Structure 1
Amino acid sequence: MTAQPIPDNGGTMRETGWLGWIWFAGIMMIIMGSFNAVEGLVALFRGEYYVVTEEQVLVFDITAWGWITLLIGILVALAGGALMSGAAWARVVAVVLAVVNAVAQLMFVSVHPVWSTIVIALCVTVIWAVVVHGSQAKSMTTTTYEPSRH
């Protein structure tokens, strides 16, 4: 089933549900990126907020982790905005950054297990939405409708 805009009785366009997944993925990426950026800023300015022990998996010191998380957050948010444009390159970048974000959160899971698990689940949902429904995004943004003239 392909997603196509369909006219309603008044001649205006009504979108089918498939475009909703691309918008959902884009909005989720903007939200996740914003949260990651805040997480990174907290690590930079209030490093004592994160309690890291020797047994935890965190690979970098907290300042380096803050910069990495801040950069990933900015890139994820920008990719989310670009994803809503319908561009093919934005879909590729969105999937790559969602994978990078999930792996980064995996390294942070010992510090904040619930939060990291939620973000990883959202990353998987974003990847699914873009891979399964991404091809419809371009056709939805470029299709125009003109009522038939009888």
Structure 2
Amino acid sequence: MTAVPKETRRGRGGPDSSEINGPSLFAGSVLMLSGPLSILMGASGIAQDTLFSASRYAYRFDLTAWGWIHLVIGVALVITGLGVLTDKSWGRGAGVVVAGISLITQFMFVPYYPLWAIPAMTLDLLIIFALTRFHVGTSGGR
């Protein structure tokens, strides 16, 4: 039996490839953008409890609580963004889950600051789309 060179067996973007594909790179980059922005939003809500206001809203929380929610989700977005960019096996799934949670919380935050929440929701949708739609040649055991 003839030995096949390693490059031929793997091929570009194959299951053993260490290269991250374009959609995963995009999703990881957007996670790394959305995360720090959520962290900054959270810090703003924690620092100034009167910064945002919404009258008579079903999901009305104390603004400090909203700040902590955004802060925790922002940190989770950064961690999963790093997981996606380093092609960890848990990165894609965790990225979808965290982006989904962020999408829901941003939706609940719309009455407080719609000019922030709607673009953040768009980023979350793009992350979910990129991580779920395009799954070609990612590694399996890292």
TM-score range, shorter chain: 0.7 to 0.9
The alignment-based identity, stated in percent, is 26
Specify the code of the residue in structure 1 equivalent to 2:22.
Answer: G
Show CA shifts across 1:14-61 (max 9, x none).
Answer: x8xx812111101111111101110000001112211232x2344321
**SS, match of residue 21 in structure 2:** helix
Specify the code of the residue in structure 1 equivalent to 2:47.
Answer: F
Name the TM-score, length of structure 1 as normaliser: 0.75
- Distance in 2 separating the partners of 1:25 and 1:57: 32
What is the 5 A alignment of 1:1-150?
Answer: 5=12, 19-53=21-55, 55-138=56-139
Instruction: Quote the residue 2:4 is aligned against.
Output: none
- Distance in 2 separating the partners of 1:109 and 1:51: 11
- Distance in 2 separating the partners of 1:32 and 1:80: 9
Name the TM-score, length of structure 2 as normaliser: 0.79
- Distance in 2 separating the partners of 1:89 and 1:134: 14
Contact 2:21 2:136 in 1 (8 A): no
Shift of 1:135: 4.1
Shift of 1:87: 2.0
- Provide the aligned C-alpha RMSD in A: 2.1
- Distance in 2 separating the partners of 1:83 and 1:25: 8
- Distance in 1 separating the partners of 2:133 and 2:89: 13
The count of aligned residue pairs is: 126
- Distance in 1 separating the partners of 2:76 and 2:50: 25
Compare 99-108 and 124-133 and name the one that shifted more: 124-133
Instruction: Quote the residue 1:11 is aligned against.
Output: none
From the superposition, tell whether residues 31 and 81 of structure 1 become closer, same or farther in structure 2 (CA, over 3 Å). Answer: same
Contact 1:33 1:76 in 2 (8 A): yes
From the superposition, tell whether residues 87 and 135 of structure 1 become closer, same or farther in structure 2 (CA, over 3 Å). Answer: farther
**SS, match of residue 72 in structure 1:** helix
Show CA shifts across 1:58-93 (max 9, x none).
Answer: 432111111111011001111001111212211110
- Can you give the 5+ residue segments of structure 1 that lack an aligned partner in the other structure? 7-14, 143-150
Show CA shifts across 1:120-142 (max 9, x none).
Answer: 11111111111122343328xx9
